[in-house]
Amino acid sequence: MYPENFAYFRPKTIAEASALLKKNKGARVLAGGHSLLPAMKLRLATPKALVDIGGIKGLCGIQMRGKTIWIGATTTHAEVASSAIVRKSCPMLAETAAQIGDLQVRNRGTIGGSIAHADPAADYPTALICLGATVVARGPKGERKIPAEKFFVDLFTTALKGGEIVTAVLVAPRGKGQGAAYVKHPHPASRYAVAGVAAAVEIEDGRIARASVVVGGVTASPVRAAAAEEALAGKKADPAAISAASSRLADSLPDPMGDLYASGEYRVHLAAVLAKRALTAAVERAKG
Ligand SMILES: Cc1cc2nc3c(=O)[nH]c(=O)nc-3n(C[C@H](O)[C@H](O)[C@H](O)COP(=O)(O)OP(=O)(O)OC[C@H]3O[C@@H](n4cnc5c(N)ncnc54)[C@H](O)[C@@H]3O)c2cc1C
């Protein structure tokens, strides 16, 4: 399959990229190309121009900046998975990246591309909302910081405005008494999440002081499992509390998606099973 003809630009700065997006109506950013190019070949996307951000310096890499982990938008999934900083300070995010697709996808796909694409079956959105991450975007009106929870608006829809480019993702390192885990049921061919659950807990004096549980793959964009979080608050961090919370997951998923691979009902069932596993791993980590 061949895509429709398009113009190709490879700017050297974000300002130049942003101006190209503004000038060329219907232009799209090109990062790893692992979601955009298949869509173009199927003619599901027919951009008139591609603005390749791969040559922009300062958009790639992972650094500790103050007390925050800074991950540049064009950092590949493989780089996140193998980063010593991420593995030490936020192992859950490295594990999430390691579960994406196959080796080829992880070596080409980028964190900025994944979140800008906002596929309901993608892994990063679920993990980043759970971790309370921030998305940094730059556009014609300057820089904006968007909480991950507000970034994913709907199916393949984000809070990005015209001409805005994701430049980085900011994540707080896990501290003492904190633990997080991401568990998914992968589609056997693509590895996309049929359902995926991210859980993070903070334990004080053996009790769960704070919990964050987010479900992906089941609805148009990831959903916070508020009832499960409430069920955990103040409880002893033990299997009984985790079971009770996991059984509340369906409360937050009243309208699950079904497709060729899995019915909505099955996805909700999966999510509860995965929540139990993710919470168990998060609690173990928090206990050190
Ligand atoms: C076979 C296969 C299996 C996969 N399995 C998984 C999986 O298991 N889990 C998973 O999460 N994903 C999976 N993916 C998707 C993969 O992670 C993609 O790499 C990712 O969704 C898109 O990232 P990209 O860098 O390739 O972006 P591109 O394909 O280049 O771009 C995707 C979209 O985002 C926009 N965009 C890209 N970068 C930016 C930016 N910085 N700012 C603004 N807009 C931007 C583009 O314009 C485009 O609309 C799979 C893909 C394939 C082909």
Residue 125 CB-density burial (10 A; 0-12 exposed, 13-18 middle, 19+ buried): buried
pLDDT digits (tens, 9 = 90+) for 39-74: 999 999 999 999 999 999 999 999 999 999 999 999
Flag whether pLDDT at 245 surpasses 90.
Answer: yes
Nearest residue to 112 (alpha-carbon basis) of 148, 82, 86, 140: 148
CA angle 35, 40, 46 (to 5 degrees): 125
Write down the residue that tokens 């979080």 correspond to: 229
Give the rounded percent of residues in the chain with a pLDDT score beyond 90: 97
In this prediction the pTM is: 0.97
pLDDT given at position 152 = 98
Helix, strand, coil percentages (3-state) for the chain, rounded to 5, are 35, 30, 35
Flag whether pLDDT at 286 surpasses 90.
Answer: yes
Of 37, 44, 105, 107, which is best to mutate to test ligand 1, by the most ligand atoms within 8 angstroms of its C-beta? Answer: 105
Q: Which residues line ligand 1 (CB under 6 A)?
A: 28-36, 38, 53, 73, 100-101, 105, 108-110, 112-114, 116-117, 119, 122-124, 160, 165-166, 190-192
pLDDT bracket for residue 288 (50, 70, 90): confident
Residue 177 Cα, ligand 1 centroid: separation in angstroms?
33
At 147, list the tokens: 């909480």
Task: Give me the amino acid identity at 48.
Answer: K
Mean pLDDT of 118-133: 98
Residue 1, CA distances (Å) to 4, 35, 37 in order: 10, 15, 11
**Atom from ligand 1 closest to the CA of residue 167:** 41
pLDDT given at position 87 = 98
Flag whether pLDDT at 185 surpasses 90.
Answer: yes
Instruction: Determine which residue's CA is closest to atom 50 belonging to ligand 1.
Output: 101
Tell me how far apart the alpha carbons of residues 76 and 82 are, in angstroms, rounded to a whole number: 10
Instruction: Determine which residue's CA is closest to atom 43 belonging to ligand 1.
Output: 165
Instruction: Determine which residue's CA is closest to atom 6 belonging to ligand 1.
Output: 101
Tell me how far apart the alpha carbons of residues 112 and 53 are, in angstroms, rounded to a whole number: 11
Mean pLDDT of 233-249: 97
